[in-house]
Amino acid sequence: MAVLLLAALSVVTMSSPARAAATPLEVTGFGSNPGNLRMFRYAPPGLADGRPVVVAMHGCTQNAATYAANTGWLRLADTYEFSVVFPQQQTANNMNSCFNWFEAGDTRRDSGEALSIKQMVDRAKRDNGSTSAYVSGLSAGGGMTSAMLAAYPDVFSGGGIIAGLPYGCANSVSSAFTCMSPGVSKSPKEWGDKVRAAFSSYSGPRPKVSIWYGTTDSTVKPMNGTELMEQFTNANGTDQAPDTTDTVGGYPHRVYGGTVETYQITGMGHGQPVDPGTGPAQCGTAAAYILDVNICSAYHLVRFWGIGGSASPTPTPTGTSTPTPTSTIPPYSDTVIGTATDHYVAQRITVAEYNKLGAAHGYNTPFPLHRCEAGMGR
């Protein structure tokens, strides 16, 4: 049964040439490492002190190098000025190199693999004076991302769960099968209680969580996307009614209370979405279980988290808050063509205007925006 589970979660490595200018390097001596993991890190040349740390976790049978090369994280780190930690599982821990997302001893706070990953973050923060960290992962790495968000809400400001599982869904190999397919249904409160119990004394802010799933995923059923949304909206103190419903890249996108979002990738199977190319919103290289579906999940995670350097991305609109002004207003002419979302993220309109104009013109239908229509007087 263990072999079947590991095979079901397998993400087969596919060769892809790594960019010479961006290669993760192994870091040793990062802590007691009770989970017996390896740490790889990429820091852009000349990275300033204090920039964020992003943790990116591979799926089964992958390793740090191939996951880094194919998912787009290396180029995004260069563009938006952050370092990336790539934890790597070892076959001594798991025969298919899966993170043990279903083992209680590896997902509890200050225990096993979870503590090893936290120690990697601590080391990266010390080395670069960082004060913020984010975590993401694919499949088994997505399941471990759920665990890290639950166990360490004081460490991570945001997370990205891609084809992953709710925290506390399984505590054995057999129950993991059920979680993966057909999935386990619980109430939002039941799921949220599992997150709160992971660090019961914690009363601070919860991380923002971005959830991605394919509608034809036969390995980790799409139901898990719904259960994840219910878990983290409840844990974050918001309801399960989206404040914003739109499309991004042609795919349904929903935002809940400004702290949880979901991407429903229509027709996608089991894997991480990428959009190969050199455009500002493009990244990644298609490979087995790294799927070219014309949207780059890593790029949109950076946007949702709101991290970046001199080329800082703007946050995904939530419909409930006003975007933080930047030092300069993006230039635009008296008449600008774009969707309601385009105008919002460019800071041409407020949230109220976003909702009003979106309802009138269609949120994702291009239309001309005039200065007088926006009422901003710019």
The answer to whether residue 139 is catalytic is yes
The series of mean pLDDT values per 10 residues for the chain, 378 residues long, is 44 38 90 98 96 97 95 97 98 94 97 98 97 97 98 98 98 91 97 98 98 97 98 98 96 98 98 96 94 98 82 37 29 45 48 54 55 40
What pLDDT was estimated at residue 320? 34
What pLDDT was estimated at residue 85? 98
Q: How far apart are CA 79 and CA 35, in angstroms?
A: 32
Do 78 and 161 meet the contact criterion of CB atoms below 8 Å apart?
no
What pLDDT was estimated at residue 192? 98
DSSP 342-363: HHHHTTSS-HHHHHHHHHHH-T
Which of 97, 136, 139, 157 is an active site residue? Answer: 139
What pLDDT was estimated at residue 273? 98
CB atoms within 10 A of CB 34: 16
Q: Are strands 335-338 and 38-42 parallel, antiparallel or unpaired?
A: unpaired
What pLDDT was estimated at residue 365? 52
Q: How far apart are CA 289 and CA 310, in angstroms?
A: 32
Tokens 């309801």 map to which residue? 239
What pLDDT was estimated at residue 366? 56
Phi and psi, residue 135, nearest 5°: -140, 140
Q: CA torsion sign, 246 to 252 to 255 to 261?
A: negative
- Both structure tokens of 241: 């009614």
Could you give the angle at the alpha carbon of 120 between the alpha carbons of 148 and 46, nearest 5°? 120
Exposure letters 197-223 (e unless 16+ CB within 10 A, then b)? ebbeebeeebbbbbbbbbeebebbbbb
Q: Which helix (H) or strand (E) holds 172?
A: none
What pLDDT was estimated at residue 16? 39
Exposure letters 158-168 (e unless 16+ CB within 10 A, then b)? bbbbbbbbbbb
Longest CA–CA span in the chain (Å) reads 65
Burial class (CB in 10 A: 0-12, 13-18, 19+), 92: exposed
